[in-house]
Structure 1
Amino acid sequence: MRLALLTDLHANREALTACLEHAGQQGADQYAFLGDLVGYGGDPAWVVDTVMAYVARGAVAVQGNHDYTIASVARPKMHPETLATIEWTRSQMSPAHVEFLGQLPLTRQLDGMLFVHASAEDPIQWEYVKKPEQAERSLRATASKVVFSGHVHAPALYRRTADGRMGTHQPQSGTRIVLDPEHQYLAIPGAVGQPRDGNNAACYAMYDDATRELSYFRVPYDHGAAARRVIGVGLPMIFAMRLVEGI
């Protein structure tokens, strides 16, 4: 199985379209969406409809913090710009969209793989896994050999050896990494819809469970159109600028 891993879509129609087309060209035969389908971007209904269609065909999907917030009745504690986007996104959602986001699980397991938006240690706390010690806690929380997660908007790969030593790897686009079956890995594909590592190209990853090869990809897309959409629907300018600048 060649599994395409997409996270932090953030209502970015142009980026998601480009990544799905690229994944199809790479031979993907299954898909996993690692949360934050909505938030920041200007096409939340289209993105949720697209993911719903993939899930209906067997794709994996888990809940991100923005998805959780849309489905929650509580008013979240967020920056004013983010809160304004959440309220606008809610106004774009149908009851079916809200129900879908609210019923997404925090984690899914499949064939020795764990899918989670943030840390597997305590998914509902939405911890940002940015350091080896945070990655270690996430890996220690599961017996799965491979954990796929998002939330941090930048590609990363962590390894925990059989004797507990932690290592990191800086993934490069298009490079295949063979995962050692004796080790445990935490793979973060990077954001489809709002990269924040200084590169505005969309991110996703592909995992072949037969060969244990993991590949990261950067996919250029029409970020200008996505930014204009953000501005056109009246969302804060900062979210348009992030798409252009990749920060």
Structure 2
Amino acid sequence: MNSLRHRSAPMVTAIGIQRSYGARSVLSGIDLSVERGEFVVVIGHSGAGKTTLLRILAGLDDEFHGEVAVSPRLSLMFQDARLLPWQRVAANVALGLRGRAAKAAAARALTEVGLAARGRAWPRELSGGEVQRVALARALARGPEVLLLDEPFGALDALTRSHMQALLSNVVERHRTTTLLVTHDLDEALGLADRILTMDGGMITADVAVPLPRPRDRGTAEFAAFRGRLLAGLGVAEGLAQKGVR
């Protein structure tokens, strides 16, 4: 494993990333670059290597070959919010922060996700959507330049998921945070991404810019037409459906 010297742009760089578990190859020469302020979504079926790639970029896995450079100011959000049940919401958001500014940073983040009044609540008192908003607030409280998200809304119902996607889009656009999101959901990718990467067999198989204007309405003919062109261009409409990509 090697680390490239951090540069101002791009904010995320990976060159020739390979990762194996025993004899099983999970990543096979990944090259990736994400520019400052860019929202990139990685899509692919289970086992394609998406989460492994994200863990390497987050610094949670150093058993790989290749080179990685990511801004040290990064936050990671999982599908599992991992809130501490014995800590109140505000304390969960401030977890890991130090100094006098920690409390204020947590309060600002909770306000940003619409939970300013829930700082004294216990995690058990929250709905599923509120739990994920707290997890997002915890990521934002660190003032990240890079935000990495591993299917953070996968366990939510459709309506709550839609609300969380809109919240994430607004927050990222407001702060121009460089964002890399992993998902199974093609419509989620189209609704959020500046650029979509597809993964299969541990490789990036396509890199597609999304030219749709924001905010994005999935009910428009323009959205549907681009979705159709994307699937046709990838040649994977049937394969994605079979492998669990919606």
Note whether the superposition's TM-score is higher than 0.5.
no
Question: Which structure has more strand as a fraction of its residues?
Answer: 2
Q: Could you say which structure has the greater relative contact order, defined with CA pairs below 8 angstroms and 6 or more residues apart? A: 2
Give the structure-2-normalised TM-score.
0.31
Structure index of larger Rg: 2
